[in-house]
Amino acid sequence: MRVMTRLSQKNLNQTQSAAQAAEATGFDGLATMENSNNPFLPLAIAATTTERIELMTGIAIAFARSPMAVANMAHDLQLASGGRFKLGLGSQVKGHNERRFSVPWTPPAPRMKEYVESLRAIWRCWETGAPLDYVGDHYKFTLMTPHFVPEKTNLPMTPITIAAVGPAMLRVAGRYCDGAQLHPFCTRRYVEEVVMKRIGEGMEKSNLTRENFEISGGGFIVTGPDQETVNKIFEYVRYRVAFYGSTRTYWPVFELHGLTDLGGTLHRLSKAGKWDEMAREIPDDVVHL
């Protein structure tokens, strides 16, 4: 097991000191998120000011960006870090793609499969000089002139992990990726009965083995130096369970535990804009799942 920590993204002027402190403390890796800040920029700073620690986007929104643009950023981070970068991608949900990023929505698992294949085709072109010739249902890349080919990294190809919740995306992870980043909205039972099974189904159709496949995240953790802090974090987790549980994408977890009706209630409250009321619908035993 390896232990990673989140790299603060609020102020890029503080990124260098934060990254170096995490490395000195002994963390195995630094991860950035794509919420209110860009996930790639802090890693560019960390790549040039640290020596050992692994760097990862955990995760970057895939479909809002062309695979070509992401391939270029990942190439630069892999080169600058000396091979310490890992690209973590996520599909996000339909509403955010269409209404926050203004990109069309299609079934995410087949599209993510092509996204991963596209990235590797582009990197292979840059590193080996092989013709760029990727044609799929969602992405097509067939043009690469010498002027646009970056410097070779002479490093292993950047590993790709994807955020996976539902069975289809878990199979994509197992078949086409180097790892899966599990969502916090995930219970131990869901990991044991669904996650590992579906990833295994994907691996059966590929040359991947569990020993070379990284699984990270999964589940909320409530901890703290005293009971008062623990109680506050517990209530925060209750809110997060309600927030994610209002979105249909995450309902497979509820369905496994017989909580589909709770998901419907949360969804109706979210559509009505009653965000403050949603956490009240989450009993303690659900938080403990």
Question: So what's the pLDDT on residue 105?
Answer: 97
Region 139-156: mean pLDDT is 98
Q: Which two tokens stand for residue 167?
A: 């069975």
Contacts of 185 (CB under 8 A, 6+ apart): 165, 220, 240, 241, 244, 245, 250, 253
pLDDT of residue 143: 99
Does position 208 have pLDDT exceeding 90, yes or no? Answer: no
- Using H for helix, E for strand and C for coil, what is the string for 131-180? CCCEECCCCEECCCCHHHCCCCCCCCCCCEEEEECCHHHHHHHHHHCCEE
DSSP 4: E
Question: To which H or E segment does residue 30 belong?
Answer: strand 29-32
Going by pLDDT thresholds of 50, 70 and 90, the confidence category of residue 210 is: confident
* 27-71 pLDDT tens trace: 999 999 999 999 999 999 999 999 999 999 999 999 999 999 999
pLDDT of residue 211: 86
Residue 276's pLDDT is 85
pTM for this entry: 0.92
The tens digit of pLDDT for each residue in 79-107 reads: 999 999 999 999 999 999 999 999 999 99
Q: Which of 266, 260, 219, 218 is nearest to 243 (CA)?
A: 266
Which of 198 and 275 is assigned the larger pLDDT? 198
Question: Distance (Å, rounded) from C-alpha 280 to C-alpha 241?
Answer: 11
Residue whose C-alpha is closest to residue 84's, from 4, 138, 145: 4
Predicted confidence at residue 129, as pLDDT, reads: 97
Query: If DSSP codes are grouped into helix, strand and coil, which group holds residue 107?
Result: coil
Distance CA 219, CA 237 (A): 10
Does residue 273 register a pLDDT over 90? yes
Domains of the chain by start residue, with CATH: 4-220 (3.20.20.30), 221-289 (no CATH)
